[in-house]
Amino acid sequence: MSATAVLNLTLMVLSASLGINIAFWCTVGLLRFVAELGSRKVAAGARAIKVADVAVVIPAHNEEIALPKCIAALKAIIPARQIYVASDGSRDATVAIARSLGCRALDIQPNGGKAKAIDRAIKHYSLCKRFKAVLIQDADSEIDPHYFDYALPLFDDPGVCVVAGHVLSRWRDQRLPTLDMLFAAYRTRLYRILQTAFQYGQSWKWTSVSYIAPGFASMYRTQALAQIDITAPGLVIEDFNMTFEVQHKRLGRVAYTPRARCSSEDPFNLCDYRKQVQRWYLGFWQTVRRHGVWPSRFWLSLGGLLAELLVISIFALALPLATLAYLTTGFEIPALSIGQLAIRPVSPLILLALFLAVDYALTFIVAIIERRPSLMLYGIAFPAIRLLDAALFLRALAKSFSAKSDGRWVSPARYAIPDAHRRHS
């Protein structure tokens, strides 16, 4: 194979394993970074929205383990009287804990689902009339002490109606890597890539095509929140739909800064991970189908991403099968000729090796950026998780044509561990 063919082949694998969208949005993000170099300091002075103007809504279903930490972190930066817990059919001490910590707690029975719990708390306490912004935060999330310092100034721009939080995977101090931290390690890499490549570039005021303000800790201007259909029927999750509502109804921009941080607990077993990811993907595809396509920059961006994700998912799943066929029958990838791209028949082993090399290179880079050497060991298993993600992504697409949901949920298992053994990323 000639040097040109090798280069073409490498570029093809890079495109199929990483995606052209990542390269494009990384470039946009770099342009944004350079353009905003002179304005990175938060200007002092009167804010359009202050901490006293913010209400916090925490939807919770049997969260007696995680909720105390969540509320404690919030109470360090906002009074407890501005925190509202929407307990959705909880059978444990969720309500009692919230009230004992000075928060308002709505005991919703029976379990109606996360979206309905959020909506009911907002309406029951008239939050859109009493406050200028509402922070919606998951019960397993712990907010950074400086979240409001960096998030609230973004609302000084009247065009901003949502501030998307920056998610961090929660790590536990440990001497050696453990299996139950595998998914947190994988999410550390995933979040770094997605937030650096997509959220940062897509939330720039000159692009404004963000497709998700994550439900773990995002803040809405109440003028816009009152116009969002939070409880749209048939959806398993609410955050994709709420962001699409913002884009479709042209309610304003989704702003984002990597400094408005909040840590979140990731699943620590395969069963909970599979259920959570399937729920996310299904909610995404259901939202896409619910809103349909409309002429906009948003859909120009999203359409390209969807097409690429489908190609990458199929490529990732087909590669191991092609490798197996090659090892048993000698099957090779047929010759390709697309314009100037001309590649001779290729062994799937070469493609697989390149795919794994690219994947591990990503892990290496993120391990350096995050200063987490243990990622290098966890990274050996990441390709297997990528295959699972690809299968769940395609399965969710198929299910989105038939699956309906009333939004009811079951919280994954939580860690109950003392403060001395926890730290934020």
The CA distance from 147 to 53, in Å, is: 15
Of 253, 272, 293, the last residue of a domain is 293
Interval 402-416 mean pLDDT: 65
Interval 168-172 mean pLDDT: 88
The CA distance from 323 to 333, in Å, is: 10
Q: In this model, does residue 335 exceed pLDDT 70?
A: no
Q: Nearest 5°: CA angle at 140, between 286 and 93?
A: 110
Mark whether 347 and 274 lie in a shared domain.
no
Question: For residue 116, which amino acid is it?
Answer: K
Domain annotation covers residue 152: yes
The CA distance from 243 to 165, in Å, is: 13
The CA distance from 49 to 148, in Å, is: 10
Q: In this model, does residue 338 exceed pLDDT 50?
A: no
Q: In this model, does residue 416 exceed pLDDT 60?
A: no
Using a pLDDT cut of 70, give the percent of the chain over it: 84
pLDDT given for residue 263 in this prediction: 95
With residue 337 as reference, give the H or E element that holds it: strand 336-338
With residue 310 as reference, give the H or E element that holds it: helix 297-329
Residue pointed to by tokens 């082993």: 349
Domain annotation covers residue 38: no
Are the beta carbons of 112 and 406 closer than 8 angstroms? yes
Interval 328-338 mean pLDDT: 59
What SS3 class is residue 235?
A: coil
Q: In this model, does residue 336 exceed pLDDT 60?
A: no
Over the stretch 296-320, which tens digit does the pLDDT of each residue have? 999 999 999 999 899 889 988 988 8
Mark whether 123 and 254 lie in a shared domain.
yes
Are the beta carbons of 134 and 219 closer than 8 angstroms? yes
Domain annotation covers residue 409: no
User: Which has more confidence, 209 or 328?
Assistant: 209
Mark whether 287 and 338 lie in a shared domain.
no
Domain annotation covers residue 149: yes
Say how many C-beta atoms besides its own lie within 10 A of residue 401's C-beta: 9
Q: In this model, does residue 419 exceed pLDDT 50?
A: no
Residues in CB range of 190: below 8 A, 6 or more apart: none
Structural domain count, the chain: 2
Q: In this model, does residue 26 exceed pLDDT 60?
A: yes
With residue 362 as reference, give the H or E element that holds it: helix 348-370
Mark whether 258 and 341 lie in a shared domain.
no
CATH of the domain at 289: 3.90.550.10
How far is CA 396 from each of CA 211, 215, 270, 310, 390, rounded to the nearest angstrom? 18, 20, 18, 12, 10
Over the stretch 231-276, which tens digit does the pLDDT of each residue have? 999 899 999 999 999 999 999 999 999 999 999 999 989 999 999 9
Mark whether 311 and 255 lie in a shared domain.
no
pLDDT given for residue 44 in this prediction: 62
Mark whether 322 and 239 lie in a shared domain.
no
The CA distance from 80 to 137, in Å, is: 14
Question: For residue 89, which amino acid is it?
Answer: G
Alpha carbons within 13 A on the beta-carbon side of 387:
12
Domain annotation covers residue 420: no
Bridge partners (DSSP) listed for residue 220:
134, 162
The two tokens of residue 345 are: 């028949």
Using a pLDDT cut of 90, give the percent of the chain over it: 68
Domain limits for position 368? 3-18+302-399
Question: For residue 422, which amino acid is it?
Answer: R
Mark whether 312 and 163 lie in a shared domain.
no
Are the beta carbons of 262 and 137 closer than 8 angstroms? yes
pLDDT-derived band at 409, boundaries 50, 70, 90 = low
Domain annotation covers residue 264: yes
Residues in CB range of 235: below 8 A, 6 or more apart: 115, 241, 283, 286, 287, 290, 405, 407
Over the stretch 28-50, which tens digit does the pLDDT of each residue have? 999 999 998 876 666 666 789 99
Mark whether 166 and 311 lie in a shared domain.
no
pLDDT given for residue 379 in this prediction: 96
The CA distance from 262 to 268, in Å, is: 19
Q: What is the mean pLDDT of the chain?
A: 87
Mark whether 262 and 319 lie in a shared domain.
no
pLDDT-derived band at 328, boundaries 50, 70, 90 = confident
The two tokens of residue 229 are: 């259909």
pLDDT given for residue 355 in this prediction: 86
The CA distance from 237 to 283, in Å, is: 5
pLDDT given for residue 162 in this prediction: 98
Residues making up the chain, counted from first to last: 425
Mark whether 354 and 289 lie in a shared domain.
no
Q: In this model, does residue 422 exceed pLDDT 50?
A: no
Interhelix angle 182-194/348-370, rounded to 10 degrees, is: 90
Are the beta carbons of 140 and 122 closer than 8 angstroms? no
The two tokens of residue 186 are: 């994988």
pLDDT given for residue 287 in this prediction: 96
How far is CA 99 from each of CA 21, 82, 111, 379, rounded to the nearest angstrom? 46, 12, 19, 42
Over the stretch 103-160, which tens digit does the pLDDT of each residue have? 999 999 988 899 999 999 999 999 999 999 999 999 999 999 999 999 999 999 999 9
Q: In this model, does residue 341 exceed pLDDT 60?
A: no
With residue 360 as reference, give the H or E element that holds it: helix 348-370
Domain annotation covers residue 26: no
Domain annotation covers residue 42: no
Backbone region of residue 45 per phi and psi (left: phi > 0; alpha: psi in -120 to 50; beta: other values)? left
The CA distance from 308 to 16, in Å, is: 8
Say how many C-beta atoms besides its own lie within 10 A of residue 173's C-beta: 9
Of 240, 270, 293, the last residue of a domain is 293
Of 232, 259, 293, the last residue of a domain is 293
pLDDT given for residue 176 in this prediction: 73
Mark whether 313 and 287 lie in a shared domain.
no
Mark whether 262 and 334 lie in a shared domain.
no
Interval 389-396 mean pLDDT: 96
Q: Nearest 5°: CA angle at 328, between 325 and 332?
A: 45
